[in-house]
Amino acid sequence: MFYIFFLIFFFTLPLFSQPSFENGYVVFKFFAPEANSVAIAGDFNGWRKDDLLTKDDNGNWYGKFKIKPGLYQYKFIVDGRWMLDPANPVKVENFNKTDFNSVFVLSYDWKILLQSEPDAKPNPEDIYPKTNRIYLNIIWHQHQPSYLDPEKDQLQGPWVRTHGTKDYYDMASMLENYPDIHVTINLTSSLLYQLDEYYVKRLKPYFDPKRNRIDTKRYFKDGVKIDPWIDLMLKDSEEFTDFELGYVYKNSWNCFSVSEVVMSRFPEYEQLKNKDPKHYTPEDIRKIKFFFYLANFDPDFLNGKVKLANGFEVDITDIIQKKGDKYYLKREITEDDCNRIVAETYKILSAIVPIHKKLMYDPVKKTGQIEVITTPFYHPILPLIYDTDIAKICQPMDNLPERFSYPEDADAQVKKSIAYYQKIFGRKPLGMWPAEGAVAEQIISVFVRNGIKWIATDEKVLARSKPENQPFYYPYSVDEDTVYGNKDEAKSLLIVFRDTRLSDAIGFTYQNYEPEVAADDFIRYVLSFAPENPFEERLITVILDGENAWEWYRKDEDGKAFLNALYRKLSKLHKNGQIITVTLSEWIYGNPMRGVKAHKITSHQELEPLWPGSWINANFDTWIGEEEENLAWEYLSKVRKDVEKLKIQRPNPFLDLPKSGTKEYFEYKAWESLYSAEGSDWFWWYGKDQTALGGDEPFDVGFRTHLINVYKFLQKAGYNVNVPEFLLKSILK
**Max intra-chain CA distance, the chain:** 82
Mean pLDDT in residue range 669-690? 92
Q: What is the pLDDT of residues 145-197, one digit of tens each?
A: 889 888 889 999 999 999 999 999 999 999 999 999 999 999 999 999 999 99
Task: Give the Cα-Cα-Cα angle 394, 396, 399 (nearest 5 degrees).
Answer: 115
How far is C-alpha 416 from the geometric centre of its chain's CA atoms? 21
pLDDT at 31 over 60: yes
Judge whether residue 307 has pLDDT over 90.
yes
Look at the alpha carbons of 392, 397, 403, 404 in this order and tell me if their dihedral is positive or negative.
negative
In a domain, 355, yes or no: no
Q: 437 near 370, Cβ under 8 Å?
A: no
Note whether residue 670 is domain-resident: yes
**CB within 8 Å of 2: residues ≥ 6 apart:** 32, 34, 35
Question: Helices in 159-281 by DSSP H: which ranges?
Answer: 159-163, 170-173, 189-193, 201-203, 216-221, 228-234, 242-245, 260-264, 267-274
517 plus 637 within the same structural domain: no
CATH of the domain at 562: 3.20.110.20
Report if residue 218 sits inside a domain. Answer: yes
Binned at pLDDT 50, 70 and 90, residue 445 comes out as: very high
Q: What pLDDT does residue 484 have?
A: 64
677 with 696, same domain: the answer is yes
Residues 523 and 600 in one domain: yes
Helix, strand or coil for residue 210? Answer: coil
**Can you list the alpha helix ranges (DSSP code H) found in 576-656?**
584-589, 627-645
pLDDT digits (tens, 9 = 90+) for 525-546: 999 999 999 999 999 999 999 9
The number of distinct structural domains making up the chain is: 4
| Nearest partner of 473 among 356, 597, 605, 639, judged by Cα | 605
Confidence of residue 43 (pLDDT cuts 50, 70, 90): confident
Query: Is 551 a domain residue?
Result: yes
Same domain as 499, residue 382 = yes
Q: Could you tell me if residue 67 is inside a domain?
A: yes
Residue 107 pLDDT greater than 60, yes or no: yes
CATH number at residue 43: 2.60.40.10
Confidence band for 110, pLDDT divided at 50, 70 and 90: confident
Range of the domain at 334: 190-347
- Domain presence at residue 359: no
Residues 691 and 659 in one domain: yes
Q: What's the CA gap between 254 and 388, in Å, rounded? A: 35
**Closest among 476, 396, 487 to 439, alpha carbons compared:** 476
Q: What is the pLDDT of residues 590-605, one digit of tens each?
A: 999 999 999 999 999 9
222 confidence band (pLDDT: 50, 70, 90): very high
Residue 150 belongs to some domain of the structure? no
Q: Is residue 174 part of a domain?
A: no
Residue 121 binned pLDDT confidence (cut-offs 50, 70, 90): low
The reported pLDDT for the residue numbered 689 is 79
Per-residue pLDDT, averaged over 657-672, amounts to 92
Q: Are residues 106 and 242 in the same domain?
A: no
Residues 453 and 549 in one domain: yes
Task: Give the residue among 593, 616, 610, 577 at the shortest CA–CA distance from 136.
Answer: 577
Residue 228 and residue 321 share a domain:
yes
**Does 210 score more than 80 pLDDT?**
yes
Query: Mean pLDDT score of the chain, rounded to an integer?
Result: 93
pLDDT-derived band at 693, boundaries 50, 70, 90: low
Amino acid letter for position 178 = Y
Using 50, 70 and 90 to split pLDDT, how confident is the model at 118? confident
Q: Is the same domain home to 633 and 608?
A: no
Continuous H helices in 426-482: 444-448, 459-464
Residues 6+ apart with CB under 8 A from 692: 685, 698, 699
Distance CA 433, CA 410 (A): 14
Q: Does 122 score more than 70 pLDDT? A: no
pLDDT class of 97 with cuts at 50, 70, 90 = low
Kindly give, in sequence order, each residue whose CB lies less than 8 Å from that of residue 702, ignoring residues fewer than 6 positions away: 145, 147, 156, 157, 682
Residue 82 predicted with pLDDT over 70: yes
Same domain, 104 and 199: no
Which pLDDT belongs to residue 8? 41
Contact (CB, 8 A) for 491 and 483: no
- Domain shared by 83 and 137, yes or no: no
Q: pLDDT exceeding 70 applies to what percent of the chain?
A: 95
CA 586 to each of CA 426, 579, 581: distance values in angstroms, whole numbers, following the listed order:
19, 15, 10
Query: What pLDDT is attached to residue 120?
Result: 64
Contact between residue 268 and residue 296 where contact means Cβ atoms under 8 Å apart: no
Per-residue pLDDT of 395-433, as tens digits, reads: 999 999 999 999 999 999 999 999 999 999 999 999 999
pLDDT at 78: 95
- Both 64 and 203 in one domain: the answer is no
Average pLDDT estimate for 468-490: 85
